[in-house]
């Protein structure tokens, strides 16, 4: 391996070293965002019984055949059927049962006529909506006049029309979002076996960093990296813990990292990975963790990319917790997160072998007034806005790795290959969609 790593080599090294978290059984509310590790089958049909899709009256088709406003079908109301009803009345010839949405279709009934097709069961003028459905007293009786005919199974949700018992509800590898959680609940699953969301600890370093809301002193700047990277980790599916900026002191950083290991599946540091006199991340990590064990310790390397040349990766602590050390410039750290940390998080979730493990990519024509220049031998990542309809991408801001304002207005990264030094307007580029 050369002293300078390519982007692809660095990512491959990370993904070969980061393994999915062990599965656990979680209650449904805690399983959101997690990845299923086994197929889930449907134990009972949905819906589990024929039920009404309307408020109205359960009837026999023959009794309402030919019904009109002028000559309504007059039926005897034998009772109520509400959602959750147990003992159901049997609808015989010339009879109807008042029924609510979701209530089981009673024996003998073949269809449901909406309440709007009736006089509401009051014997007066036609009524509408829930007012009509509730016009008759509990244990409805009397008569109802039906003004329109109904076909068999009209306004009836058939048993198993959603899913049948024995169907595959969700397959292994599914990320559980709100609809999936709803389906699991609907088929009676209170818990599910998943890979948990990774716990990612983000630590920013630098004596010049001040927390937002505090007053800046001479030579100080606000800590933005820890906020941006913690938000990015949550966006990637992780549980993120943000640690306030640690000063440029190796012993303090070492102690902080050791304290955070207990709650980390992945550690991310930002800053202190270059070759300056105060790059304390290298110094601190040189004596933290498992350098004496095979594959242990953190390797600091130079990558053929811009921004984000200095990077560190390895494992530390008794559990061999993976650690990614990112550069400190805001754009460099965020681009590095998208390229390396996000795939690592998805790998911990067990999503390495699916398209969702990395950001979507597209090809787009460069929309610019002048050519773009790029350093030879480095893969450059520029911020831009992507127009899917036009198939174009427009650069935003300059190439400086400190220009965070431009990053906030970008939804894509333009990828300029290592062997390309000039990109003419209209030329096609690969773009990584981050918006």
Local structure of 69: helix, strand or coil:
coil
Lowest mean pLDDT among 10-24, 305-319, 341-355: 341-355
Q: Residue 127 pLDDT > 90, yes or no?
A: no
What pLDDT does 122 receive? 58
What pLDDT does 375 receive? 94
Task: Say if strands 40-41 and 73-81 run parallel, antiparallel, or are unpaired.
Answer: unpaired
DSSP secondary structure, 131-172, as one string: HHHTTSPSS--SEEEE-S---TTTTEEPTTSSB-TTSEEE-T
Lowest mean pLDDT among 38-52, 191-205, 345-359, 381-395: 345-359
Q: Residue 252 pLDDT > 80, yes or no?
A: yes
Percentage of the chain beyond pLDDT 90 is: 74
Q: Residue 404 pLDDT > 90, yes or no?
A: no
**Which pLDDT band, with edges at 50, 70 and 90, does 236 fall under?**
very high
What pLDDT does 356 receive? 57
Percentage of the chain beyond pLDDT 70 is: 88
Torsion angles phi and psi, residue 385, rounded to 5: -115, 135
What pLDDT does 125 receive? 39
**Which pLDDT band, with edges at 50, 70 and 90, does 362 fall under?**
very high
**Which pLDDT band, with edges at 50, 70 and 90, does 347 fall under?**
very high
d(CA 326, CA 336): 7
Q: Residue 277 pLDDT > 50, yes or no?
A: no
Average pLDDT score over the chain: 88
More reliable by pLDDT, 140 or 162 = 162
Maximum pairwise Cα distance, the chain: 96
CB 117 within 8 A of CB 146: yes
CB 73 within 8 A of CB 146: yes
Q: Which fold has domain 361-433?
A: Beta-clip (2.40.340)
**Which pLDDT band, with edges at 50, 70 and 90, does 400 fall under?**
low
What pLDDT does 249 receive? 83
SS (H, E, C) 219-234: CCEECCHHHHHHHHHH
What pLDDT does 352 receive? 66
- CATH, range 51-157: 2.170.190.11
What is the gyration radius of the CA atoms in the chain, in angstroms? 32
How many beta carbons lie within 10 A of that of residue 160, not counting itself? 17
d(CA 120, CA 133): 6
What pLDDT does 435 receive? 81
Lowest mean pLDDT among 80-94, 107-121, 152-166, 344-358: 344-358
Q: Residue 116 pLDDT > 90, yes or no?
A: yes
CB 66 within 8 A of CB 149: yes
Q: Is 388 exposed, middle or buried (0-12, 13-18, 19+ CB in 10 A)?
A: exposed
More reliable by pLDDT, 123 or 242 = 242
CB 200 within 8 A of CB 265: yes
Q: Report the number of secondary-structure helices (H) and strands (E) in the chain.
A: 10, 29
SS (H, E, C) 378-391: CEEEEEEEEECCCC
Q: Which fold has domain 4-21+196-357?
A: Molybdenum Cofactor Biosythetic Enzyme; Chain A (3.40.980)
What pLDDT does 371 receive? 93
d(CA 11, CA 17): 10
Average pLDDT of 4-13?
Answer: 95
Lowest mean pLDDT among 16-25, 245-254, 365-374, 388-397: 245-254
Residue 155: left if φ>0, alpha if ψ -120 to 50, beta else—which one?
Answer: left
d(CA 165, CA 145): 39
pTM of the model: 0.82
d(CA 281, CA 246): 10
Domain boundaries, the chain: 4-21+196-357, 24-46+169-195, 51-157, 361-433
d(CA 171, CA 167): 11
More reliable by pLDDT, 32 or 2 = 32
DSSP secondary structure, 72-135, as one string: -EEEEEEEEE-TT--S-----TTEEEEE-TTPBPPTT--EEEEGGGB-TTSSSS---HHHHHTT
Average pLDDT of 354-382?
Answer: 88
**Which pLDDT band, with edges at 50, 70 and 90, does 3 fall under?**
confident
DSSP secondary structure, 282-307, as one string: HHHHTTSS-TTSTT-EEEEEEESEES
How many beta carbons lie within 10 A of that of residue 156, not counting itself? 21
Q: Residue 287 pLDDT > 70, yes or no?
A: no
With vertex at residue 336, the alpha carbon angle to CA 333 and CA 339, rounded to the nearest 5 degrees, is: 155
Q: Residue 170 pLDDT > 90, yes or no?
A: yes
What pLDDT does 83 receive? 87
Architecture of the structural domain at 24-46+169-195: Alpha-Beta Complex (3.90)
Torsion angle (degrees, nearest 10) of CA 352, 354, 355, 359 = -30
**Which pLDDT band, with edges at 50, 70 and 90, does 123 fall under?**
very low
């Amino acid at each position: 391996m050369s002293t300078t790593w390519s982007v692809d080599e660095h990512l491959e090294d990370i993904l070969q070293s980061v393994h999915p978290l062990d599965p656990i059984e979680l209650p449904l509310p805690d399983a959101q965002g997690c990845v299923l590790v086994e197929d889930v089958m449907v134990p009972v049909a949905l819906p589990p019984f024929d039920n009404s899709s309307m408020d109205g009256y359960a009837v026999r088709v023959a009794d309402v055949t030919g019904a009109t406003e002028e000559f309504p079908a007059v039926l005897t109301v034998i009772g109520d059927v509400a959602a959750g009803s147990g003992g159901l009345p049997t609808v015989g010839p010339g009879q109807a049962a008042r029924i609510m949405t979701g209530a089981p279709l009673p024996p003998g009934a073949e269809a449901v006529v909406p309440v709007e097709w009736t006089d509401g069961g009051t014997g007066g003028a036609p009524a509408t909506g829930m007012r009509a459905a509730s016009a008759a007293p509990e244990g409805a009786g009397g008569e109802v006049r039906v003004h329109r005919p109904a076909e068999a199974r009209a306004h009836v949700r058939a048993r198993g029309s959603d899913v049948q018992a024995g169907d595959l509800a969700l397959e292994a590898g599914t990320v559980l979002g709100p609809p999936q959680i709803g389906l699991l609940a609907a088929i009676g699953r209170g818990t599910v076996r998943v890979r948990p969301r990774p716990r990612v600890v983000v630590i920013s370093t630098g004596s010049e960093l001040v927390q937002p809301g505090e007053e800046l002193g001479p030579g100080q700047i606000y800590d933005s990296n820890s906020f941006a990277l913690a938000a990015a980790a949550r966006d990637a599916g992780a549980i993120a813990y943000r640690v306030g900026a640690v000063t440029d002191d190796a012993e303090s950083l070492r102690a902080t990292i050791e304290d955070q290991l207990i709650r980390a599946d992945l550690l991310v540091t930002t800053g202190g990975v270059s070759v300056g006199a105060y790059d304390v991340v290298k110094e601190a990590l040189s004596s933290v963790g498992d350098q004496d064990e095979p594959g242990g310790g953190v390797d600091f390397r130079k990558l053929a990319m811009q921004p984000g040349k200095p990077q560190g990766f390895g494992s530390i602590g008794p559990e061999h917790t993976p650690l990614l050390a990112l550069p400190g410039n805001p754009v460099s750290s965020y681009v590095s997160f998208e390229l390396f940390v996000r795939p690592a998080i998805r790998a911990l979730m067990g999503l390495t072998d699916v398209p969702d493990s990395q950001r979507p990519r597209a090809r787009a024509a460069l929309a610019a007034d002048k050519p773009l220049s790029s350093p030879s031998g480095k893969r450059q990542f520029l911020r831009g806005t992507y127009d899917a309809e036009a198939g174009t991408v427009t650069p935003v801001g300059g190439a400086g790795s400190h220009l965070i304002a431009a990053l906030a207005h970008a939804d894509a990264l333009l990828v300029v290959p290592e062997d390309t030094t000039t990109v003419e307007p209209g030329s096609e580029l690969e773009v990584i969609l981050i918006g």
